Structure 1
């Protein structure tokens, strides 16, 4: 029996109604619908049950790009296909609009990969944190990891090594390390370049640097970036917008391309530059 997972923007009534429709559709096809406990209470449907989303066959994300990021985080690195349903504003990650959802689910249920649907794998970042030579935590990120000042009004000093070779020390509000998928998120607002999500690369972008060198760098995916907090100020570490740790001087963050990937379900070719064109209202000529 197939298992469908749902991740939903639980504070939007329209998203919750779509989630109930998905659960009812799954029930008619003898599929089990799994959600996390918080979403289960919000959806309030007899067709859903709480469980581990990393064990499902397909995860349906209902909301926007923020819900997609939460959906990927909930998989804990498992390569579960994710179908994004966009509600409202144009998103970069979602594959279908609300009116296309049930036909798309039917195409996934009855179709053949490579014909009726296909998979779009995206690079993830692996983020490890260390304090006094002891590992604090490991996280995965689809968009970016941000190492940023904890207190307003001050820059922080972050010493960067690339592949065990010292590069420089940044005096800045922080540093962003992003994937190509994340190049249109926080990094872009910090004047970073836009990368095609088909690439495997890592983007290092300073946030408000107080130094002459203020450019982003595009690094090869196998390169490992080590960042040590120096000086006397603490920093916050966030992955995909979620605060995961506060580090003190002497603590270290290591970022590399993960072995795991995020897998999206697509039903037609989505040209990245056309999404950008629509997003920014660009003309043909």
Structure 2
């Protein structure tokens, strides 16, 4: 078997435990690989191909990086929390080897999480265009630029126009991402079993603009208004999309990805336990 280790390289405790995990895996006769890092491991793997398990040691941001490395390959991901919330992770560092042992033995619950496939178009100053394809586990977002001007755009779902909106932006999230940016913008908390998309306007200039859900087969279309040519940006899981800083985000098409992300946890109740802990005061009796 082969395990890909993805630690948060900026956390000494996660890095030290990753080394300890590497030694433990070697004792078990399991091959370990480390994910790419510009400074510490510049020549290590940048994808999860050929691996049977991916172990993320960090917070939710590290797990999102693990998801981007795995993509649509279907390799199971085990998240160990070293962050502040650890909403997507399965346990803490005190459970590290026990969790990995259970994962390798196939004794953890498998949670299938819908992903996003994003096609973004950008316009260069000379009028030419280019397209970028992106993966996301959490969300796609269109946001106003550094000048702070509100953005204007049309929102459609599978060819059906919803409205032209003005505001700070728009979030299209998976059920997994519903507890992230989408929730902060006023969207609902959605169970991981929901396979559609959650669409949430960000500070809209229409009081009636509300969040809505799509079906799994829908395509959400965002078209920036040519009548308001202000700076705007596209993001996938918080990472800026686009390779040319001089270009303008023009439109995006967001659909369910061709493959799910597989997260390992202790059971279906893990999601609701996390909801209670993070958003409802830990579920403590009042």
Is the counterpart of residue 51 in structure 1 residue 42 in structure 2? no
CA RMSD after TM alignment: 2.2
Deviations, residues 75-102 of structure 1 (Å, cap 9, x unaligned):
1321110010012433111012111111
Shift in Å, 1:103: 1.5
TM value normalised by structure 2: 0.89
Aligned match for 1:104, one of 90, 93, 99:
99
Aligned counterpart, 1:178: 173
Aligned counterpart, 2:205: 210
Q: Where is the strand percentage greater, Structure 1 or Structure 2?
A: 1
Match of 1:41, SS state, is: coil
- Answer 1 or 2: higher relative contact order, Cα 8 Å, separation at least 6: 2
Q: Distance in 1 between matches of 2:268 and 2:157?
A: 35
- 8 Å CA contact retained: 1:223, 1:256: yes
Aligned match for 2:80, one of 81, 85, 96:
85
How do 1:165-204 residues align onto structure 2 when only pairs under 5 Å count? 165-204=160-199
Q: Distance in 1 between matches of 2:12 and 2:122?
A: 43
Deviations, residues 40-66 of structure 1 (Å, cap 9, x unaligned):
816x9xxxx822432111110001101
- Cα 1:83–1:176 shift into 2, 3 Å: same
Q: Distance in 2 between matches of 1:12 and 1:26?
A: 21
What runs of 5+ residues in structure 2 fail to find an aligned partner? none
- 8 Å CA contact retained: 2:200, 2:212: yes
Match of 2:99, SS state, is: helix
Q: Distance in 1 between matches of 2:6 and 2:153?
A: 36
Q: Distance in 1 between matches of 2:144 and 2:109?
A: 41
TM value normalised by structure 1: 0.89
Shift in Å, 1:278: 1.3
Is the counterpart of residue 248 in structure 1 residue 212 in structure 2? no
What runs of 5+ residues in structure 1 fail to find an aligned partner? none
Deviations, residues 205-225 of structure 1 (Å, cap 9, x unaligned):
111111232311111121111
Shift in Å, 1:134: 5.7
Aligned counterpart, 1:273: 272
Is the counterpart of residue 141 in structure 1 residue 136 in structure 2? yes
Match of 1:15, SS state, is: helix
- Cα 1:37–1:180 shift into 2, 3 Å: closer
Number of equivalences: 274
